[in-house]
Structure formats: structure tokens, C-alpha cells
Amino acid sequence: MQSEPDDWVENVRMLEASLGAVVPEDGSLLRVREQRGNGAGFDPTTWRIIAEMGWLALRTKEDDGGLGLGLREATALCAGLGRGLVPEPVISAILALRLVSAAGAGAPEAALTGETIMLAAWQGGASDCDPTAGVTVSDGRLNGRKIAVEGGLGADIFVVTLAEGIAVVPKDAPGLTVTGQQMHDGTFLAQLDFADVLAEVLPCAGMTTFVREAMLMHAAYLMALSERAFEITLDYLRMRKQFDVPIGQFQALQHRATEIKLQLELARAAIGAAGRMLDRSEDPHLAQMAILRARSRAGGLARLTAREAIQMHGAIGYTDEADIGLFARKAMVSAGLYGVDTDLRRQFSAMRDEREKAQ
């Protein structure tokens, strides 16, 4: 095992300290609320701020103008974004830059500065996480479909994952049709239909791993939005009185609250372990499996927290006016992105069998 520099701890502290530029420190969700359904579902001005902070280039090699930071830093950042329900598709952009950089195409300056919005189109089907699925290439032309590109209506460039590598495709490329599906959290997922779209295909070693890294970042986003929703719910349990006592005094609610806490701590531990293993390059196979279960845990946590948060708030939790609903909608939508439960278990099981065969 290599000796580990502790730089990441300091990096995480700096990143967390800088989050205030985008996530209001007082917990206000006014911007998030007003952004819903507007434009592409996120704010171009905020995007520029995010780019200026260097967050998009977090995982891009330093040679390509990035920060070259580890996954523990990346997950800490995404956790901060999750707490604030930030709708900007940061993870997709980090992935897009990582793919382009790994394919040897450098990192486009405009994408680093935020002038151009470059996002990853990796998912082929709604219920699987195979980045090679959906679009085929022959004679330099792309055909097929990519789905669930978060924030995709606001993108200028798509980085499309293929069995052969990646293709960088502008939004106005002839033969490409971009359509949006509004989601319940006020964001839009784009569907990209390719009909003989001319594109250069670049080999991209490690593509599947990079997508899984994005899954881990998204797991951190889910974990943190759940944690914030849980905090708000606990405050409510302490404050709301019925039968002359705070409802948080009732054992039935206390025990359910501890279950959320348990799932939260399991998610945090799994995400932490996966990040550590990847950053230290310990047993890559086991590290990938750790991502799959961390992502699975975080999705389950988000859904559990969302439904308990609504139930524990009672009728007020079912109104659009209460902020807890923003978390519930975000959880419902986000728990289905960057990983789908049945498929995560299928992949985990397959990787386990591979491992057994190899040993």
C-alpha cells in the first residue's frame, strides 16, 4: 500500500469553504425554487460561477488545465451541492471533461471557463447503466439514442459514450435531435436522437470507470440531500406539538428516525470507503464494487428519507410551499439517475463472480 498524503483533507476543507458561492449558507432554497422549470432547468450565470471556482475541472488532469483532485474531494463537493439541491448539472460536466481529457483531446478552454456547456451523454436505456449502449457507430456516423442527459437542454456540446470510445458532438450537429423531458424537481432530462450524425470517434481507455466515478459523486449528492432533509425533519419533530408534546417524543417516530440515521451512516461509510480505495488505487475491482453498493445505498436512503420526511411532516409535507417537498421531489428524480437499483445489483453480482473466477 502506498503511503498516503493527507492533502485531500485540506482540499476538502477548502472546497467546503468555497461552497457558499453557490449554496446559500443560511439554507435558503429560494433560487432553487424559482429555477424550477425555467429555461433549461438551471441557471447559466450560476454555471459561470461554478466554472470559475474550478469545480468542473476537479477531476481533469492538471496537464489539461484541470485541478487533478481525487474522488474524496469530488464527493465532498457533490455533497455540498446536494445539501443545497443545486440543479446545475455539475457531475455531468465533470464526467464530460474527464472523458475528453482521457481520450487525449485536451480539455476545451471554453468548457473549463463555462463559456461553453459540455455535458456527458452516457446512458443508453432507462433501466441500465451500460455506457456503451444506445448509440452505434459505422462509417463515422452515429445512430441511435442517448437518454437522461441532466441539464441537456442547456448544453452546447455533448460527449457521447460508445462501445468504441467517445464522440464530441455539438448540439446543432446535423442529424441530432435534442428533446427535453421536464422532471418533477423542475430540471429537464434530454433525449438525444442520432440519425447519421457525422462524428470523430476517439478511443477512451477507462470510460466505464469514469462513468462509475460519476455514480459515486452522484451517490454523495443523494446522501447529502437526504442528510439535509433529515435535519429539517428532525427540527420539525422537535418543534411540532400534538397531544401537548413534541411529536419527536413518540417512540414510533424515534425508531423510524434512527433507521434513517443508520441508512445515512451506511451510505456515508460506503461512499467514503469507495473514494478512499479509488484515490489510493487499492484493489480497483473491489473499489468498483464499492461504488455500485454506495450508489445503491444512497438511492435507497434518498427514497426512504423522502417518504419519511413527508409522512413525519404530515399534511404540510404534502404542500408545494414547504421546502421539504423540494427535497422529496429531488430525491424521487435523482434516485433514478447515474444508476438503477436492479442494474446496480446485477453489476455487483457479475463483478463478484468475475472476482471469484479470477481467484
Partner 1 sequence: MTQTDVQPPFRADHAPHPDYNAMPDAEFRAVVRHFIETHYPDIPRHLLRRLRWQEVCPWYAVLARTGWLAPTWPQALGGMGLNAGKHLILIEEYERFGCARMHDIGTVMLGPLLIQFGTQAQQDHYLTRILSGEDIWAQGYSEPGAGSDLAALRTEALRDGDHWVLNGQKTWITLGADANMIFVLARTDKSVRKQAGISFLLVPMEAPGVTVREIENLEGHAEFCEVFFDNVRIPIGNIVGEVNGGWAMAKALLGHERVFIGAPRLSASALARLEEIARREGVWSDPVFRDRFTQLEMDLADLSDLFETYVERLRTGAPIGADVGLLKICQSELYQRISEEMLQVAGSLGGAQLTDATARLDTAGTWLAARPTTIFGGSTEVMRNVVARASLDLPK
- Residue ranges binding partner 1 (CB under 8 A): 234, 237-238, 245-246, 248-249, 251, 253-255, 257-258, 261-262, 265-267, 269-270, 272-273, 289-290, 292-294, 296-297, 342, 345-346, 348-349, 352
Q: Parallel, antiparallel, or unpaired: how do β-strands 141-150 and 188-198 relate?
A: antiparallel
CB of 249 to partner 1, least distance (A): 5
Query: Which three cell numbers mark 97?
Result: 471533461
Query: Which three cell numbers mark 11?
Result: 482540499
CB of 273 to partner 1, least distance (A): 4
CA distance 207 to 238: 47
> Is the Cβ of residue 44 or residue 284 nearer to partner 1 in the bound state?
284
- DSSP string of 109-173, one letter each residue: HHHHHTSS-EEEE-B-STT---TT-SEEEETTEEEEEEEEEETGGG-SEEEEEETTEEEEEETT-
Query: Is there a contact between 298 and 219 (Cβ–Cβ < 8 Å)?
Result: yes
CB of 190 to partner 1, least distance (A): 31
CB of 115 to partner 1, least distance (A): 40
> Is the Cβ of residue 270 or residue 326 nearer to partner 1 in the bound state?
270
> Is the Cβ of residue 1 or residue 315 nearer to partner 1 in the bound state?
1
- DSSP string of 276-305, one letter each residue: HHHHTT--HHHHHHHHHHHHHHHHHHHHHH
Among 337, 268, 284, which residue's Cα sits nearest to residue 87?
A: 337
**Looking up cell 441511435, which residue turns up?**
144
CB of 346 to partner 1, least distance (A): 8
CA distance 202 to 288: 24
Number of Cβ within a 10 Å radius of residue 20: 12
Helices (H), 160-206: none
> Is the Cβ of residue 109 or residue 231 nearer to partner 1 in the bound state?
231
CA distance 4 to 251: 44
> Is the Cβ of residue 5 or residue 255 nearer to partner 1 in the bound state?
255
> Is the Cβ of residue 184 or residue 261 nearer to partner 1 in the bound state?
261
CB of 209 to partner 1, least distance (A): 19
> Is the Cβ of residue 163 or residue 262 nearer to partner 1 in the bound state?
262
CB of 83 to partner 1, least distance (A): 18
> Is the Cβ of residue 295 or residue 329 nearer to partner 1 in the bound state?
295
CB of 304 to partner 1, least distance (A): 14
